[in-house]
Copies of this chain bind each other. A is one copy, B any other.
Amino acid sequence: MTDQPALRTLKEGAAFNGFLLAQEAAFKTSAKGSEYLELKLADASGDLKAFLWDVRAIEGDLDKVQADAFLKVKGQAAAFNGRLQLRLDKVRFALDEEVGDLARFFATSGRPLADMTAELDAAVARTRDPWLRRLLELLLVEDAGLRAAFCRAPAAKSLHHAFLGGLLEHTLSVLGMAERACEHYPDLNRDLVAAGVLLHDLGKTAELTYQRSFAYSDEGNLIGHIAMEAEWISRAAARIPDFPENLRMQILHIVLSHHGRLEYGSPVLPKTPEALLVHYLDDLDGKLEAMFRSIREDAGEGAWTPFSRTMDRMVYKVRWPKA
Protein backbone atom coordinates (compact mmCIF):
# COMPACT_ATOMS: atom_id res chain seq x y z
CA MET A 1 0.00 0.00 0.00
CA THR A 2 3.05 2.19 0.42
CA ASP A 3 2.85 3.85 -2.96
CA GLN A 4 -0.89 4.39 -3.21
CA PRO A 5 -2.01 8.00 -2.67
CA ALA A 6 -3.74 9.06 0.56
CA LEU A 7 -7.46 9.62 -0.02
CA ARG A 8 -7.30 13.14 1.33
CA THR A 9 -4.77 14.15 -1.33
CA LEU A 10 -6.81 12.82 -4.24
CA LYS A 11 -7.78 15.37 -6.91
CA GLU A 12 -10.74 15.25 -9.27
CA GLY A 13 -10.03 13.08 -12.27
CA ALA A 14 -7.12 11.24 -10.62
CA ALA A 15 -6.94 7.50 -11.03
CA PHE A 16 -6.77 5.32 -7.93
CA ASN A 17 -5.58 1.76 -7.64
CA GLY A 18 -5.00 0.26 -4.21
CA PHE A 19 -6.34 -1.13 -0.96
CA LEU A 20 -9.00 0.55 1.11
CA LEU A 21 -11.14 -0.40 4.11
CA ALA A 22 -14.87 -0.67 3.45
CA GLN A 23 -16.54 1.04 6.39
CA GLU A 24 -19.91 0.60 4.75
CA ALA A 25 -21.06 -1.62 1.88
CA ALA A 26 -24.53 -2.02 0.42
CA PHE A 27 -25.98 -3.53 -2.71
CA LYS A 28 -28.76 -1.27 -3.90
CA THR A 29 -31.13 -1.25 -6.79
CA SER A 30 -32.07 1.59 -9.08
CA ALA A 31 -35.67 2.36 -9.95
CA LYS A 32 -35.16 0.44 -13.19
CA GLY A 33 -34.16 -2.61 -11.27
CA SER A 34 -30.43 -2.68 -12.02
CA GLU A 35 -28.16 -3.43 -9.13
CA TYR A 36 -25.19 -1.32 -8.03
CA LEU A 37 -22.74 -1.29 -5.14
CA GLU A 38 -22.40 1.69 -2.83
CA LEU A 39 -19.36 1.84 -0.55
CA LYS A 40 -17.73 4.06 1.99
CA LEU A 41 -14.00 3.51 1.63
CA ALA A 42 -11.35 4.71 4.03
CA ASP A 43 -7.67 4.97 4.74
CA ALA A 44 -6.11 6.77 7.69
CA SER A 45 -6.33 10.13 5.94
CA GLY A 46 -10.11 10.10 5.50
CA ASP A 47 -12.94 8.46 3.61
CA LEU A 48 -14.91 8.76 0.33
CA LYS A 49 -18.17 7.48 -1.03
CA ALA A 50 -17.62 5.06 -3.90
CA PHE A 51 -19.91 3.52 -6.52
CA LEU A 52 -19.61 0.48 -8.75
CA TRP A 53 -22.45 0.72 -11.26
CA ASP A 54 -21.99 -2.70 -12.76
CA VAL A 55 -21.83 -5.37 -10.08
CA ARG A 56 -20.59 -7.91 -12.57
CA ALA A 57 -17.27 -6.10 -12.30
CA ILE A 58 -16.75 -7.59 -8.84
CA GLU A 59 -14.12 -10.28 -8.89
CA GLY A 60 -14.52 -13.33 -6.71
CA ASP A 61 -17.02 -13.85 -3.96
CA LEU A 62 -19.69 -11.12 -3.73
CA ASP A 63 -20.55 -12.04 -0.15
CA LYS A 64 -17.09 -11.03 1.03
CA VAL A 65 -17.60 -7.50 -0.20
CA GLN A 66 -19.05 -6.20 3.04
CA ALA A 67 -18.48 -3.71 5.82
CA ASP A 68 -15.18 -4.04 7.73
CA ALA A 69 -13.49 -5.85 4.85
CA PHE A 70 -10.39 -4.68 3.01
CA LEU A 71 -10.96 -4.27 -0.72
CA LYS A 72 -8.70 -3.85 -3.69
CA VAL A 73 -10.33 -1.20 -5.88
CA LYS A 74 -9.58 0.52 -9.16
CA GLY A 75 -11.30 3.63 -10.44
CA GLN A 76 -11.06 7.38 -10.50
CA ALA A 77 -12.03 10.39 -8.44
CA ALA A 78 -14.98 12.35 -9.76
CA ALA A 79 -16.63 15.47 -8.41
CA PHE A 80 -20.31 15.15 -7.75
CA ASN A 81 -22.33 18.05 -6.46
CA GLY A 82 -19.22 19.65 -5.04
CA ARG A 83 -17.92 16.60 -3.26
CA LEU A 84 -15.38 14.05 -4.46
CA GLN A 85 -16.37 10.43 -4.90
CA LEU A 86 -14.81 7.35 -6.42
CA ARG A 87 -16.28 5.83 -9.59
CA LEU A 88 -15.03 2.27 -9.55
CA ASP A 89 -14.27 -0.09 -12.41
CA LYS A 90 -13.08 -3.04 -10.39
CA VAL A 91 -13.55 -4.31 -6.86
CA ARG A 92 -12.34 -7.42 -5.09
CA PHE A 93 -11.93 -8.70 -1.57
CA ALA A 94 -8.37 -8.42 -0.24
CA LEU A 95 -6.56 -10.61 2.28
CA ASP A 96 -4.92 -9.06 5.33
CA GLU A 97 -1.55 -10.29 4.08
CA GLU A 98 -1.83 -8.19 0.94
CA VAL A 99 -2.77 -5.12 2.83
CA GLY A 100 0.22 -4.71 5.10
CA ASP A 101 0.23 -2.45 8.15
CA LEU A 102 -3.39 -2.14 9.23
CA ALA A 103 -2.70 1.13 11.08
CA ARG A 104 -2.63 2.87 7.70
CA PHE A 105 -6.37 2.52 7.50
CA PHE A 106 -7.36 4.11 10.78
CA ALA A 107 -7.23 7.53 12.33
CA THR A 108 -4.38 7.54 14.82
CA SER A 109 -3.38 9.73 17.72
CA GLY A 110 -1.54 12.86 16.72
CA ARG A 111 1.02 12.23 19.42
CA PRO A 112 4.00 10.02 18.48
CA LEU A 113 3.75 6.67 20.20
CA ALA A 114 7.35 6.83 21.41
CA ASP A 115 6.64 10.08 23.23
CA MET A 116 3.60 8.64 24.87
CA THR A 117 5.26 5.44 26.04
CA ALA A 118 8.17 7.44 27.43
CA GLU A 119 5.69 9.61 29.32
CA LEU A 120 3.92 6.51 30.60
CA ASP A 121 7.13 4.94 31.82
CA ALA A 122 8.20 8.17 33.49
CA ALA A 123 4.89 8.39 35.31
CA VAL A 124 5.29 4.84 36.58
CA ALA A 125 8.85 5.52 37.64
CA ARG A 126 7.79 8.72 39.42
CA THR A 127 5.53 6.68 41.72
CA ARG A 128 7.20 6.63 45.11
CA ASP A 129 4.82 4.26 46.82
CA PRO A 130 6.54 0.90 46.31
CA TRP A 131 3.32 -1.16 46.20
CA LEU A 132 1.64 1.01 43.67
CA ARG A 133 4.76 1.28 41.50
CA ARG A 134 5.07 -2.52 41.51
CA LEU A 135 1.41 -2.88 40.59
CA LEU A 136 1.79 -0.46 37.69
CA GLU A 137 4.95 -2.20 36.49
CA LEU A 138 3.24 -5.57 36.48
CA LEU A 139 0.28 -4.35 34.47
CA LEU A 140 1.66 -1.61 32.23
CA VAL A 141 5.32 -2.51 31.71
CA GLU A 142 5.97 -6.19 32.20
CA ASP A 143 2.81 -7.64 30.67
CA ALA A 144 3.89 -7.10 27.08
CA GLY A 145 0.55 -8.03 25.52
CA LEU A 146 -1.43 -5.74 27.74
CA ARG A 147 1.08 -2.93 27.24
CA ALA A 148 0.83 -3.28 23.49
CA ALA A 149 -2.95 -3.22 23.61
CA PHE A 150 -2.89 -0.22 25.95
CA CYS A 151 -0.75 1.66 23.42
CA ARG A 152 -3.00 0.83 20.49
CA ALA A 153 -6.60 0.90 21.73
CA PRO A 154 -8.96 3.79 21.19
CA ALA A 155 -10.49 5.37 24.31
CA ALA A 156 -14.04 4.89 23.15
CA LYS A 157 -16.13 3.65 20.26
CA SER A 158 -17.16 7.14 19.27
CA LEU A 159 -17.60 9.42 22.28
CA HIS A 160 -14.06 10.77 22.57
CA HIS A 161 -10.49 9.88 21.58
CA ALA A 162 -11.96 7.40 19.07
CA PHE A 163 -8.72 6.67 17.23
CA LEU A 164 -5.77 4.29 17.55
CA GLY A 165 -3.67 5.33 20.53
CA GLY A 166 -6.59 7.29 21.89
CA LEU A 167 -6.73 5.33 25.15
CA LEU A 168 -3.13 6.13 25.98
CA GLU A 169 -3.43 9.73 24.85
CA HIS A 170 -6.53 10.23 26.99
CA THR A 171 -4.96 8.47 29.98
CA LEU A 172 -1.84 10.65 29.81
CA SER A 173 -3.91 13.80 29.43
CA VAL A 174 -5.96 12.99 32.52
CA LEU A 175 -2.72 12.18 34.32
CA GLY A 176 -1.26 15.55 33.41
CA MET A 177 -4.24 17.37 34.86
CA ALA A 178 -4.30 15.05 37.88
CA GLU A 179 -0.68 15.79 38.76
CA ARG A 180 -1.41 19.50 38.55
CA ALA A 181 -4.41 18.94 40.82
CA CYS A 182 -2.22 17.14 43.36
CA GLU A 183 0.01 20.19 43.51
CA HIS A 184 -3.03 22.40 43.95
CA TYR A 185 -4.78 20.25 46.57
CA PRO A 186 -1.87 19.06 48.72
CA ASP A 187 -3.97 16.69 50.84
CA LEU A 188 -4.39 14.39 47.87
CA ASN A 189 -2.17 11.32 47.68
CA ARG A 190 -0.43 11.77 44.34
CA ASP A 191 0.61 8.15 43.91
CA LEU A 192 -2.88 6.84 44.59
CA VAL A 193 -4.33 9.37 42.16
CA ALA A 194 -1.77 8.56 39.47
CA ALA A 195 -2.28 4.83 39.79
CA GLY A 196 -6.04 5.32 39.66
CA VAL A 197 -5.73 7.38 36.49
CA LEU A 198 -3.33 4.99 34.78
CA LEU A 199 -5.57 1.99 35.46
CA HIS A 200 -9.05 3.51 35.24
CA ASP A 201 -9.74 2.56 31.62
CA LEU A 202 -7.33 -0.34 31.20
CA GLY A 203 -10.22 -2.75 30.64
CA LYS A 204 -11.07 -0.92 27.42
CA THR A 205 -8.28 -2.86 25.77
CA ALA A 206 -10.64 -5.84 25.97
CA GLU A 207 -13.97 -4.01 25.96
CA LEU A 208 -13.43 -2.64 22.49
CA THR A 209 -12.38 -4.35 19.30
CA TYR A 210 -10.39 -2.16 16.97
CA GLN A 211 -9.07 -4.35 14.22
CA ARG A 212 -11.29 -3.09 11.38
CA SER A 213 -13.96 -1.02 13.10
CA PHE A 214 -14.34 0.27 16.62
CA ALA A 215 -16.98 -1.83 18.35
CA TYR A 216 -17.74 -3.54 21.63
CA SER A 217 -16.41 -7.05 22.08
CA ASP A 218 -18.67 -9.76 23.49
CA GLU A 219 -16.86 -9.44 26.77
CA GLY A 220 -17.28 -5.67 26.59
CA ASN A 221 -21.01 -6.04 26.25
CA LEU A 222 -21.45 -8.78 28.84
CA ILE A 223 -18.92 -7.73 31.49
CA GLY A 224 -17.83 -4.14 30.80
CA HIS A 225 -14.40 -2.59 31.17
CA ILE A 226 -14.85 -1.63 34.81
CA ALA A 227 -15.41 -5.16 36.07
CA MET A 228 -12.66 -6.48 33.80
CA GLU A 229 -9.95 -4.11 34.98
CA ALA A 230 -11.03 -4.52 38.60
CA GLU A 231 -10.34 -8.22 38.30
CA TRP A 232 -6.99 -7.67 36.56
CA ILE A 233 -5.87 -5.30 39.30
CA SER A 234 -6.95 -7.69 42.03
CA ARG A 235 -5.14 -10.53 40.35
CA ALA A 236 -1.98 -8.47 39.92
CA ALA A 237 -2.08 -7.32 43.54
CA ALA A 238 -2.39 -10.96 44.60
CA ARG A 239 0.92 -11.65 42.84
CA ILE A 240 2.74 -9.01 44.93
CA PRO A 241 3.65 -10.49 48.29
CA ASP A 242 2.15 -8.62 51.26
CA PHE A 243 0.31 -6.10 49.11
CA PRO A 244 -1.62 -4.11 51.72
CA GLU A 245 -5.33 -4.96 51.79
CA ASN A 246 -6.33 -1.36 52.51
CA LEU A 247 -4.39 -0.11 49.52
CA ARG A 248 -5.96 -2.77 47.32
CA MET A 249 -9.42 -1.54 48.38
CA GLN A 250 -8.53 2.09 47.79
CA ILE A 251 -7.17 1.57 44.28
CA LEU A 252 -10.04 -0.74 43.35
CA HIS A 253 -12.47 1.83 44.71
CA ILE A 254 -11.08 4.54 42.42
CA VAL A 255 -11.42 2.30 39.40
CA LEU A 256 -14.90 0.99 40.24
CA SER A 257 -16.30 4.44 41.03
CA HIS A 258 -14.72 6.46 38.24
CA HIS A 259 -17.94 6.84 36.21
CA GLY A 260 -19.21 8.86 39.15
CA ARG A 261 -22.82 7.68 39.20
CA LEU A 262 -24.54 4.32 39.36
CA GLU A 263 -26.60 5.11 36.27
CA TYR A 264 -23.36 5.63 34.32
CA GLY A 265 -22.22 2.12 35.17
CA SER A 266 -20.16 2.52 38.32
CA PRO A 267 -21.36 0.03 40.96
CA VAL A 268 -20.22 2.37 43.78
CA LEU A 269 -20.06 6.14 44.22
CA PRO A 270 -16.66 7.87 44.76
CA LYS A 271 -16.17 7.94 48.53
CA THR A 272 -12.58 9.16 48.81
CA PRO A 273 -11.10 12.47 47.63
CA GLU A 274 -8.84 10.63 45.23
CA ALA A 275 -11.74 8.75 43.65
CA LEU A 276 -13.74 11.95 43.35
CA LEU A 277 -10.87 13.71 41.59
CA VAL A 278 -10.24 10.91 39.10
CA HIS A 279 -13.92 10.85 38.19
CA TYR A 280 -14.09 14.57 37.50
CA LEU A 281 -10.86 14.84 35.53
CA ASP A 282 -11.64 11.76 33.44
CA ASP A 283 -15.08 13.12 32.57
CA LEU A 284 -13.74 16.61 31.86
CA ASP A 285 -10.95 15.38 29.58
CA GLY A 286 -13.29 13.25 27.48
CA LYS A 287 -15.87 16.00 27.12
CA LEU A 288 -13.29 18.70 26.31
CA GLU A 289 -11.69 16.50 23.66
CA ALA A 290 -15.09 15.83 22.09
CA MET A 291 -15.95 19.53 22.13
CA PHE A 292 -12.64 20.71 20.65
CA ARG A 293 -12.81 18.00 18.01
CA SER A 294 -16.35 18.89 17.03
CA ILE A 295 -15.22 22.52 16.59
CA ARG A 296 -12.15 21.52 14.58
CA GLU A 297 -13.88 19.03 12.35
CA ASP A 298 -17.01 20.99 11.53
CA ALA A 299 -16.44 22.57 8.16
CA GLY A 300 -19.96 23.93 7.90
CA GLU A 301 -20.84 27.59 7.86
CA GLY A 302 -22.45 29.27 10.80
CA ALA A 303 -21.43 29.63 14.39
CA TRP A 304 -22.62 26.25 15.59
CA THR A 305 -21.68 22.60 15.14
CA PRO A 306 -24.50 20.22 14.33
CA PHE A 307 -26.45 18.92 17.31
CA SER A 308 -24.43 16.21 19.01
CA ARG A 309 -26.48 13.48 20.62
CA THR A 310 -23.46 12.46 22.63
CA MET A 311 -23.16 15.90 24.20
CA ASP A 312 -26.90 16.62 23.97
CA ARG A 313 -26.14 20.07 22.58
CA MET A 314 -24.66 22.08 19.74
CA VAL A 315 -21.22 23.61 20.35
CA TYR A 316 -20.47 27.27 19.72
CA LYS A 317 -17.58 27.43 17.29
CA VAL A 318 -16.66 31.10 17.59
CA ARG A 319 -13.41 31.33 19.59
CA TRP A 320 -12.66 34.63 21.29
CA PRO A 321 -9.02 35.34 20.32
CA LYS A 322 -6.33 35.35 22.96
CA ALA A 323 -5.01 38.80 23.71
Residues in chain B near residue A9, CB distance under 8 A: none
Contacting pair A227 B256 (CB below 8 A): yes
The verdict on A213 contacting chain B, using a C-beta distance below 8 Å, is no
Given A224-B268, A267-B226, A323-B128, A276 and B256 contact (CB-CB distance below 8 Å): no
A218 touches B316 (CB 8 A): yes
Chain B residue nearest to A284 in the complex (CB): B280
Q: Is the C-beta of A159 less than 8 angstroms from some C-beta in chain B?
A: no
- Whether the pair A80, B272 counts as a contact (CB closer than 8 A) is no
Q: How often does this chain occur in the complex, in copies? A: 6
Report if A46 contacts B (CB, 8 A).
no
A314 to B268, CA, bound (A): 12
Asked if A81 contacts B35 (CB within 8 A), the reply is yes
Q: By the criterion CB–CB under 8 Å, are A30 and B31 in contact? A: yes
A265 within 8 A of B: yes
**Beyond A184-B176, A246-B320, A273-B292, is A221–B29 a contact (Cβ under 8 Å)?**
no
A219: CB under 8 A from chain B? yes
> In the complex, what's the smallest C-beta–C-beta distance from A187 to chain B, in angstroms?
6
Looking at A226, A283, A320, which has the most chain B CB atoms within 10 Å of its CB? A320
* Residues of chain A at the chain B interface (Cβ within 8 Å): 27-36, 51, 53, 63, 80-82, 128-130, 173, 176-177, 180-181, 183-185, 187, 189-192, 218-219, 221-224, 226-227, 230-231, 234-235, 246-247, 249-250, 252-253, 256, 262-269, 271-273, 276-277, 280-281, 283-284, 287-288, 291-292, 295, 303-304, 312-316, 318-323
Identify 22 residue pairs between A and B in the complex whose beta-carbon atoms are under 8 Å apart, listed by A's number: A28-B31, A31-B31, A35-B80, A63-B82, A128-B322, A130-B323, A189-B320, A192-B320, A218-B249, A218-B316, A219-B249, A221-B271, A221-B304, A223-B268, A246-B318, A247-B320, A262-B262, A265-B268, A269-B312, A273-B291, A276-B288, A276-B291
- Other CB < 8 Å A-B pairs besides A224-B268, A272-B316, A273-B295, 20 of them? A31-B32, A31-B34, A130-B323, A177-B184, A180-B180, A185-B288, A185-B292, A189-B319, A218-B318, A219-B249, A222-B256, A222-B271, A227-B230, A227-B252, A227-B256, A231-B234, A266-B267, A271-B315, A273-B292, A280-B284
